[in-house]
Structures are given as C-alpha cells and as structure tokens.
C-alpha cells in the first residue's frame, strides 16, 4: 500500500474517531449517573437493613430489661438481693446501648436520604452537620453507659438519652417532611406536564372525528384531583415556612410547638398524597380509554407525549375505526 493510500484511509478514520470521542463524555456521564444511583441504592439498603436489625435488638433488650425489673421488684419486696440488682444494671445497660445503636441507625437512614443527589440543596441548613453532632453525642453517651457502675448512673444516662431521642424523632420528621415536600412537588410538576400532553392527545383524536367524551371526563377528573392536591400542598409549604417549634436550621426549639406543627404537616401531607392517588387513578382510567380508542400500540415518550405505533400524538394521524 502506498503512503498516499494509507493517508486516504487514516484521515477519515481519525476524523470518525474524533467525532466518536465527542460522545464519550455523554456515555461516561451516563455511566457515572448509573454508578451513583447503584451506590445510593446500595447504601440505603445497608442503612435500612441496619435500622431494622437494631430495632429488633432494641425491642429484645427492652423486653429483657422489663422482665429483670419485674423480677427485681419482686425480690426487693421480700429481701434485698445483690445478684438481682447486678442483673438489673446489666439488662438496663444493654437496653440503653441497644437504644443508642437503634437511634444511630435512624440517623444514618435520614443522612442517606439527605445525601441522595435527588435531595441535594432542598434544605437551607446543613442538616448533615446536625446529624453528625447527634451521632457524636450518642457515642459519648455510649461510653458513659459502658462505664456506669450504679443504677443511678444508668438512670441518668437513660434520662439524657430520652432527651436526645425526643429531639431526633422530631427532627427526623421535620427533615423527612421537607424531603417529602420536594418529592410531591416533583410529582405535581410532572403531572402538570402530563396534563398538557393529555390535552394535546384529546385534541388530536377529536380532530380525527373520534368521540372523546370519556377521555375528556377522565382528564377533567384528573385535573380536578390534581388541583385539589396542589391547594393542600400550597398549605403545607406555607406551614413549613413558619417551621413553628423549629429553628431555621431544623433543630428543635420548642418540643410542644414542634409536635403540633408536625401533626398539622403530617395531616396535610397525608391529604395531598390521597388526592394524588385519586388523580393517579383517573390518569390510569384515561390510559385505558385512550388505549381502547387508539387501536394501536400506545406508549409514552420521554417528553410524556402519548405515542400511537411510535408516532407522537402531536403528529399522528390515527382515524376512528382504523
């Protein structure tokens, strides 16, 4: 082969490889996103399993302590028994240590949720720092409990733990409430987009002479339920803006106010979810009817447009009775 021929072959080849290399970034980005997703999923699974395991261990230790306590009370009613007292201290120690492990596992589940790329930036404060501070506090308490020699020391540790746990329980509900709000809002945004695409699809079918009465009714019901959900969600967002009982960073400032606030927020979020589920049912009804009328392979593309036989409803030409 002559050198000129080699150049003639190599030039387009290098050009083609150069063009391909431009796409390698996209491919790499997809791989990274996928890896990140897998990692997040795996981490959540680990934390959730740990949480479930520590809950079981905690409940078991709690029961053993209660049994030992009953036994100790019975003995004390008769005569003093040092062996029962020692047993009681050990069971109480075990119960508190298990409770600490369980609390730490709960914190890790929450941390995992907040670390999820989907939830980055939804909190104004650095919740991770608050979680880490609680974890450090619990680790220190764990040391105190391990070294405690009297029932009074154990009781003091339990009291301290109860205070920390009460705050963590409230903060968990607050932070997770924010995560839930974010998720609900994403759902509503997408539902708005779907709503517009549903209208497009109806208009196209109608233009082709199809009777769309049922479809229109399903779409209207879907929108009604969605609007109801939006109204409730707006109330939830307004309520979270007040964050009564919580400081701006999400830490508890007043337990009673915090409880009242979370109770209201919980009720509102429950109602929103109920409405979204009702809207979802209407959308499924719409899907059934659309499939029936379309008489073809129906699917939804990345833009949430309905497609019949691979053609988006914005361009398709299906006719009634086809």
| Interaction of residue 62 with another protein, rule CB under 8 A | yes
Q: Could you say which DSSP state residue 306 is in? A: E
Task: Work out which of 4, 80, 302, 321 binds another protein, going by CB under 8 A.
Answer: 302
Burial (Cβ within 10 Å: 0-12, 13-18, ≥19) of residue 224 = middle
Is the distance from CB of 318 to CB of 296 less than 8 angstroms?
Answer: yes
Contact flags string 133-172 toward another protein, x per CB under 8 A: ---------------------xx--xx-xx--x--xx--x
Task: Work out which of 50, 57, 64, 69 binds another protein, going by CB under 8 A.
Answer: 69
Kindly state the tokens that stand for 168. 């963590």
| Interaction of residue 301 with another protein, rule CB under 8 A | yes
Q: Give the residue with the Cβ less far from another protein, 144 or 266.
A: 266
Bridge partners (DSSP) listed for residue 307: 299, 312
Rounded distance between C-alpha atoms, residue 94 and residue 162, angstroms: 15
Task: Work out which of 280, 295, 311, 314 binds another protein, going by CB under 8 A.
Answer: 280
Look at residue 246 and give its three-state secondary structure: strand
Count the Cβ atoms, other than its own, within 10 Å of residue 195: 17
| Interaction of residue 316 with another protein, rule CB under 8 A | no
Is the distance from CB of 229 to CB of 272 less than 8 angstroms?
Answer: yes
Q: Give the residue with the Cβ less far from another protein, 210 or 222.
A: 222
Q: Which residues in 10-29 contact another protein (CB under 8 A)?
A: 12-13, 16-17, 20-21, 23-24, 27, 29
Is the distance from CB of 161 to CB of 96 less than 8 angstroms?
Answer: yes
Q: What is the size of the binding site for another protein (CB under 8 A)?
A: 87
Contact flags string 251-270 toward another protein, x per CB under 8 A: ---------------x--xx
| Interaction of residue 72 with another protein, rule CB under 8 A | no
Helix ranges (DSSP H) in the chain: 3-78, 82-115, 127-147, 151-207, 213-242, 255-294
| Interaction of residue 64 with another protein, rule CB under 8 A | no
Q: Which stretch binds another protein (CB under 8 A): 99-107, 203-211, 244-252, 314-322?
A: 99-107
Is the distance from CB of 261 to CB of 269 less than 8 angstroms?
Answer: no
Task: Work out which of 145, 187, 205, 252 binds another protein, going by CB under 8 A.
Answer: 187
CB of residue 171 vs another protein: minimum separation in angstroms? 11
CB of residue 39 vs another protein: minimum separation in angstroms? 9
Burial (Cβ within 10 Å: 0-12, 13-18, ≥19) of residue 54 = buried
| Interaction of residue 37 with another protein, rule CB under 8 A | yes
| Interaction of residue 202 with another protein, rule CB under 8 A | no
CB of residue 300 vs another protein: minimum separation in angstroms? 5
| Interaction of residue 283 with another protein, rule CB under 8 A | yes
Rounded distance between C-alpha atoms, residue 245 and residue 248, angstroms: 10
Of 192, 23, 165, which Cα lies nearest the Cα of 100?
165
Q: How far is CA 90 from CA 57, 61, 104, in A?
A: 15, 10, 21
Task: Work out which of 33, 133, 203, 220 binds another protein, going by CB under 8 A.
Answer: 33
Task: Work out which of 97, 205, 258, 276 binds another protein, going by CB under 8 A.
Answer: 276
| Interaction of residue 40 with another protein, rule CB under 8 A | yes
Q: Which residues in 210-249 contact another protein (CB under 8 A)?
A: none
| Interaction of residue 106 with another protein, rule CB under 8 A | yes
């Amino acid at each position: 082969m002559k050198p000129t021929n080699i150049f003639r072959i190599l030039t387009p080849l290098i050009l083609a490889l150069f063009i391909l290399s431009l796409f390698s970034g996209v491919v790499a980005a997809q791989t990274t996103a996928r890896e990140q997703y897998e990692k997040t999923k795996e981490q959540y699974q680990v934390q959730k399993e740990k949480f479930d395991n520590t809950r079981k261990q905690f409940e078991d230790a709690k029961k053993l302590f209660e049994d030992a306590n009953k036994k100790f009370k019975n003995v004390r009613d008769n005569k003093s028994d040092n062996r029962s007292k020692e047993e009681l201290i050990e069971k109480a120690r075990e119960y508190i240590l298990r409770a600490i492990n369980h609390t730490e596992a709960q914190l890790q589940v929450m941390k995992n949720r907040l670390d999820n790329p989907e939830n980055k930036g939804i909190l104004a404060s650095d919740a991770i720092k608050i979680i880490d501070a609680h974890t450090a506090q619990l680790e220190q308490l764990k040391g105190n409990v391990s070294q405690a020699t009297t029932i009074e020391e154990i009781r003091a540790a339990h009291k301290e733990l109860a205070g920390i746990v009460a705050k963590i329980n409230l903060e968990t509900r607050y932070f997770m409430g924010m995560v839930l709000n974010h998720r609900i809002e994403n759902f509503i945004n997408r539902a708005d987009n779907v709503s517009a695409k549903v209208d497009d699809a109806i208009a196209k079918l109608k233009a082709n002479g199809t009777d769309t009465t049922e479809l229109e009714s399903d779409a209207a019901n879907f929108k009604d339920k969605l609007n109801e959900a939006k109204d409730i969600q707006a109330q939830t967002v307004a309520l979270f803006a007040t964050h009564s009982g919580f400081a701006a960073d999400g830490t508890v400032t007043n337990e009673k106010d915090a409880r009242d606030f979370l109770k209201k927020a919980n009720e509102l979020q429950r109602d929103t979810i109920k409405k979204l589920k009702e809207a979802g049912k209407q959308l499924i009804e719409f899907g059934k009817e659309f499939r029936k009328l379309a008489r073809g392979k129906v699917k939804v593309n990345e833009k949430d447009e309905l497609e019949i036989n691979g053609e988006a409803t914005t361009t398709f030409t299906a006719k009634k009775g086809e």
